Each structure stands twice: as C-alpha cells, then as structure tokens.
Amino acid sequence: MSNTTSLPTSEAPAARRLPGDLAIWVFILSEMLVFAVFFAAYAFARAKNVELFNEYQQTVNRDLGALNTFLLITGSWFVVRAVQAAHRDDLPAVPRNILLGFLCGGGFVVVKIIEYAAKFGAGITLSTNTFYMFYISLTFFHFMHVILGMVILAVIWVQARKGAYTSRDAHGLESGAAYWHMVDLLWIILFPLVYVMR
Amino acid sequence: MSGAFTKSMARNIFYGGTVFFFLLFLALSFDTHSQLPKRDMRQNITPQVAEGKKLWEVNNCIGCHTLMGEGAYFAPELGNVVVRYGEEGTKAFIQARPKEGIPGRRSMPQFNFTDEQLDAIVAFLKHVNSINDANWPPNSQG
Amino acid sequence: MQYKSQAVAKPYFIAAIGLFVGQILFGLILGLQYVLGDFLFPAIPFNVARMVHTNLLIVWLLFGFMGGAYYMIPEESETELFSPKLALAMFWIFLVAGALTIVGYLAVPYATLAELTGNSLLETMGREFLEQPLPTKLGIVVVALAFLFNITLTVLKGKKTSISIVLLLGLWGLAVFFLFSFYNPVNVVLDKFFWWWTVHLWVEGVWELILGSFLAFVLIKTTGVDREVIEKWLYVIVTLTLITGIIGTGHHYFWIGTPEYWQWWGSIFSALEPIPFFAMTVFAFNMVNRRRREHPNKAAVLWALGTGVMSFLGAGVWGFLHTLAPVNYYTHGTQITAAHGHMAFYGAYAMVNLMMISYAMPILRGRAANSNKSQVLEMWSFWLMTVAIVFITLFLTAAGILQVWLQRVSDAPLPFMVAQDKIALFYWMREWAGVAFLVGLIVYIASFFVGGEEKQA
C-alpha cells in the first residue's frame, strides 16, 4: 500500500506518494477542518451544558448508530479491496467491490432515515435544545457527505466497469476512495462524540 | 507526477461542492421557515404595522438608523426605541425635529407625518421590538 | 487588442472610474457629516448622501465587471463579441438610468421619488443598498439580461475556457440573486432573511467567482504561467469560497429573529471564510513568483497582488474579527461593521476592477503597457489609496471598539449620540484618511494623461 502522507515528488515517481489527486486532498483537509471546527463547537457547547447533553444523549439510538458504524467500516473495507484489485489489475473485482461499498453506504442511509423518522416524528427539531441542534446538525451534515460519497462511488463504479482503473492509472479511483474513507473517518469521530461519550 | 492534480477533478469538486452546500443552505432555510412563526410574531402584523413598514421604507429610515442592527450607523438603533423612549416619547421626538436641523449637530429631517402615520410608524417599531431576536441588543441604548 | 469588439470595454471602464470619483466625493461628505452633523443639512441629509455613496459603489463595480467581461470574454473565447452594438446600447441605457437615479435621489425627497416611480405597485424601495426605484431595478434586470445574453452567446460560439465558465456562473448568479430584491414581504424577518440572499450571496458568493476569474485571467496574461495550473487553482479557490460562503450567510442570521442555531452554523462556516481569501493571496504571489515572462505592465501585477492581500485583510481578517456570534452580539451594527465593509469592498472588488482596468486600458489604447512615467504614477496612486483605506479601517475599528465599550459593554451604557460625541476624534482622523484616498484617486486619474514613452502593443 502506498498510503502515506508524504507529498508527491515529480523527481522520484517510485517514491512513496500520495494516493489520488492532490486536489482531492485539499478538499478533504478543508472538509475535515469544517468538521473539526464543528466538533470543537460541540465540545465547547457541551462543556457549558454538561447535564443537558448527558440527559438528551440517553435519547439517541446508540444501537442504530453502532450498526451504522459497522456499515461504514465495512464499506471502507470493500473500497480498499477495490483499490487493491485495481493495483493488481484484477479488473472485474474493482466494480464489484465498489458496488458492495456503495450498498453499505445505502444501508447507512436507510438506517439513518429510520433514526431520523423516529426523532422528527417525536417533534424534535434544530430548535428543540442545544444538544439536538448539534445532534441533527452534525449527523445531517455528515449524512449529506455520505450521499455525496455514494454519488462519487457511483461515478467510479461506472468508470470501473469500463475498465478505467488499472495498476498504471488508478488516480480517479484512489481519489474517490480517499473521499469515502474521510466520510467513514468523520463518522468514527462523530459517533462516540455525539452518541456515546458522556 | 502522473496527473496528480487534474483540472477536471477540481472542476467536478467545484460543481459538486457548490450544489452540496447550496442544498444544505436550502435545507436550513426550509427549517428556518417552519420555525419563524414562533419567533417573528406574524400574527400581530396588522394593516397598521404594514403601513408603518411602508413609511419606514419610503422615508429611507435605514439610511441613517439601524433596525435589529442592520442599516446605517449614523443614528441610533430603532428596533428597541419604544423601550428607550416609550411610544409617546418616540412620536414626540419625530414631531419635534426642527426643519432646518440643529446647528452643529446630526439632525433628523422633519417629515411632517400625520397623526395616523405616526401611529403606524410606532406600531411597526413596536412590532419589531416584539420579535424574538435572541435578546439583541445587549441593553436599551441599542 | 486581439479582437476589435473588445473595444466596447473602454466606455465601461471610463464610466466606472467616473462613478468611482462620485462615490469618493460623497464618502467625504458623509465623513464630514459624522463630525459636523449639520453639514449640507437639510439639502443633502446623511441618508441621501449614503445612498448615493453606496449605490455609486455598486454601479461602478457593475460597470467594471461588465467592462472586464466584455474585454476578457472575446480573448478567452477566441472570437468576436456576439453583438458589440448591443453592448454599447446597454452601456448608454445603464449610464443614463444610473445617472437619473442619482439625480432622483438628490433632487427630490425619497418619499416623493418613491411616489413618482410607482413604488406602490411593488414595494421594493427603502432597504439598504436596494434603495433604487422600481424602474431602475427593472432596468438593472434588463441590462443584466442583455449583457448575459451577449456574453453567453459569445462563449457558446467560441472556446469555453474554465475562466469564462467561472465568470459566467458568477454573472448569472449575480442576476439571479438580484431577483430577491423584488421580494419584500411585510413580515420584516422574512424581508431581512431574503434581503441577504441578494446582498450576502453577491459579495461573499457569486461576486467572488467574478473576482477569481478576473484575477486568473490577468495572472495568465502577465505571468505566462501555464493556463492549466492557474485554472486548476481557480477552481480550488472558488470551491473554498462557496463551501464557506453559502452557509456563511448564517452570520447575518444571528439577531434578526431567525432561529438560534444560525449562531452556530453561521459562526462555524464564516470562521472558515478567510481560508479562500488566504488561498487567493498565496495563489497570486505564487503565480507571480513562478512567472515565465516579464510583462511590461508592472502596475497591473501590483493591483493583482494588492487585491489578494487586501481582500484577505478586509474580508478575511476584518470579517473574522466580528463574525463569531458571542462577539457579534456586541459589535453588530457598529463602526466595526463599517470598518470591515470599507476594507473588504476596496480590497476585493474595487481593486480587482482597478486591476482589470490597469491591464486592459493600455491595450485598448493601443499599447502593451503605459509609459514608465504613467506606471510610476499609477503605483503611487495604488499605495496612496491602499494606505488610506488601511487607515480609514483602523480609525473606524478604533471608533467601533470604543463605541461597543461605551454603549454596549460598560456597566453604565451611554446613549448612542453621547458615545458618538466621545469618539469624534477618530471620525476626524477617518475623514483626513479619506482626503488622502481622494488624493490617491486624483493621482490615479492623472496617470492616464501623463504620456511618456510607451511600449508598442
């Protein structure tokens, strides 16, 4: 695996390099910055209302959250397998694994909708209290990222079926995979922060 | 570095990112609209309040004053003026402006409002004051 | 000049500079009224002068944008403009409509103007920056549509570069979001909510696409850096702009009756708004450092670098200063906002237009660049105006901090006018900085007329 954070160097193509496009890393970093600020705001707000946060944290569905964590990690695993398949030129395995990753994302969306339906059905909105404001804002913001990640996976799937990604050039695949891993990573921070930690 | 930085990728992210954040903005705006009736006191918007808003606009009050902090910073905030001066005090102030201004001082024009117009303006300002604006301004001085 | 039809940009640029002068003169009147309250009262009350000041700003920037687009698009699309005649006709319509509007502001009381122009048919007047009478607003729509029609068809029949696509998106966005100026519900919260869809989504949204596109164009021309590289970074920067700026609208939704979650959303996203401006500065300096040629027009390069730095300071840093909700609770609607507004508008939009004019005008006048003498003068004007705006901003910031302290924070808050009297010294200093700005502007105009030995195109 060439999974490293060193910058690409034009002189030594064989050296350890950044997978995917540099451009996608600019955006991944800025997206992570947005979430980082959001998480910091959450921590700040929680510190001022610990009791309120602890009380309402009991009301969120941790089981569904855990199920979603499992789905996203599994999805990431399939995406990794797709990249590996491309690197060893196992072309049919690439779209298959991407599709499986996409389906995991779809599972996440379904579970999330069930979770939201229960909350919105109970009349909870962004304005209910500070905890729910953060709960809905963070999870919905992330939810939209999952959907965007799925759109990207779908595009990559179409390309992969045409055999676009090989050991010689897998930049597009790696870029999309990197984005999907970011979506996963953000959830792995978000889930304990909002659902579990108290 | 074999295409480690393609323009088409940057372009796709531009389109995707723009649509993404605009949709998010629309979602938040939609939620805002469903919440506003609890905050904007729309049930109290009488024809008189509407007339007051119109007078507020056609006399370009916002060209000197702020309303809930928005406008020009030449003259005091008026979103809470009924708290500061009272309704009658506000009317009396508007009526008492000298036509030629006050020498050396910032002066408000004399608009020659009728009594009905003054009532409407104050009704509008009273309405604005009743809006739940997260407890702004910090004190009655605006 | 590569294409004959680019010449239509010239009158637009001249009008832009003329209106800019008007804007500054009225700015000086306003500054004086801050300290000599009865100056010109009741002939030109503050609100009228302010309306003229801000509306002239908007109109001259629009003239600059249109002129810049008419200059740039044929060169980018590698084809003549679809209709130079339409462009010229629209120039005169816009200029006359603009002039009549300003005359209207100055000649009759605003309420009379509203009555004469049919405001009762559709009440849109009397809102900050959107004070234009209904016919003017409709005129703006007509001019904008004709302009967009002309530009879009030019791009469609020619080469579609990324720079022109970003510009088109910015210009179309400008026209679309202006339509919200026609929506003025009687519910003042809704009114304010959508008012920002024009105002914020212009200056912290689509206008930045125009800014980025102009900057990228001039950088390509003056540095000779590969177009692919510049266009890639253009996309990166405008993406960062929109992902922070769109939700960043929320920083206007703190205290106008909108739900309180906007305090979080608005603070978080607008806290990130300096990033695209910072990226723009780095981008401009990087491209200039990597230049492959020495363009004879040094002044244009200076404006390009200047707009990066000043928009970062004015929009980025001064915006961030008061954008977090707990800070904004105290600074909202004070001279801090005025300080930010002055530097941001100058740094981002005045300077990018001056950059475009600086680059294009010599070519429109048949030379690659102005004479050395003229450029030296132009660079003097750059420093005079820029340093003056820095001081205006600093003095207003000082005034604002004191105002916030005296009127909002202290244990015994003072009434507005009492606080204003106590900070009059800073308003005097601001006015003198404004005079320095005017001197810079006069030097700028003089630079067009000094002659000297010019490099041939």
**In-domain check, residue C373:** no
**Chain C contact for B19 (CB, 8 A cutoff):** no
Comparing alpha-carbon positions, the chain A residue that sits nearest to B23 is: A144
**In-domain check, residue C91:** yes
- Is residue C192 very low, low, confident or very high in pLDDT (cuts 50, 70, 90)? very high
A6 pLDDT exceeds 70? no
Tokens linked to C430? 């601001």
Tokens linked to A17? 């390099």
| pLDDT at site C455 | 64
Question: B26 and B71: one domain?
Answer: no
Contact C264 A45 (CB under 8 A): yes
**In-domain check, residue C138:** yes
A12 pLDDT exceeds 70? no
| pLDDT at site C97 | 95
| pLDDT at site A11 | 41
| pLDDT at site B10 | 87
Q: Which domain holds residue B71?
A: 41-142
**Chain B contact for C135 (CB, 8 A cutoff):** no
- Is residue C199 very low, low, confident or very high in pLDDT (cuts 50, 70, 90)? very high
C405 vs chain A: nearest CA distance in angstroms?
26
C267 vs chain B: nearest CA distance in angstroms?
14
The total number of structural domains that make up chain C: 1
DSSP-derived secondary structure letter, C185: -
Residues 398-427 of chain C with CB under 8 A from chain A are none
**Of the partner residues C38, C258, C334, the one whose CB lies closest to the CB of residue B104:** C38
| pLDDT at site B2 | 40
Partner residues linked to B64 by β-bridges:
none
Q: Which residues does chain C have within 8 Å of residue A134's beta carbon, measured at their own beta carbons?
A: 264
A2 pLDDT exceeds 50? no
The total number of structural domains that make up chain B: 2
Contact B4 A22 (CB under 8 A): yes
Across A22-36, A138-152, C130-144, C162-176, least confident range: A22-36
| pLDDT at site A197 | 84
Contact B64 C50 (CB under 8 A): yes
- Is residue B5 very low, low, confident or very high in pLDDT (cuts 50, 70, 90)? low
Q: Which domain holds residue C148?
A: 1-160
| pLDDT at site C452 | 79
Burial class (CB in 10 A: 0-12, 13-18, 19+), C4: exposed
A7 pLDDT exceeds 70? no
Separation CA C310–CA C191 (nearest Å): 32
Choose, out of A126, A135, A179, the residue to mutate when testing the contact with C (most C CBs < 10 Å): A126
Cβ pair C126, B58 in contact under 8 A: yes
Tokens linked to C111? 């309420």
CA dihedral for B62, B67, B71, B75, sign (positive or negative): positive
Separation CA A161–CA A175 (nearest Å): 17
CATH number at residue C142: 1.20.120
A73 pLDDT exceeds 90? yes
**In-domain check, residue C376:** no
Contacts 24+ apart (CB under 8 A), C53-57: C53/C23, C53/C26, C53/C27, C53/C29, C54/C128, C54/C129, C55/C101, C55/C102, C55/C105, C55/C129, C55/C131, C55/C132, C56/C19, C56/C20, C56/C22, C56/C23, C56/C26, C56/C102, C57/C23, C57/C345
**In-domain check, residue C313:** no
Separation CA B65–CA B72 (nearest Å): 5
**What pLDDT, in 10s, does the model give residues C10-29?**
999 999 999 999 999 999 99
Compute the radius of gyration of chain B from its Cα atoms.
22
Domains and their CATH numbers in chain A: 22-196 (1.20.120.80)
**In-domain check, residue C187:** no
**Chain B contact for C337 (CB, 8 A cutoff):** yes
**Chain A contact for B36 (CB, 8 A cutoff):** no
**In-domain check, residue C322:** no
Comparing alpha-carbon positions, the chain B residue that sits nearest to C341 is: B72
| pLDDT at site B4 | 56
ipTM of the predicted assembly exceeds 0.90: yes
Question: What rounded mean pLDDT belongs to chain C?
Answer: 96
Residues in contact with B20: Cβ distance below 8 Å, sequence separation at least 6, in sequence order: A144, A148, C243
CATH number at residue B126: 1.10.760.10
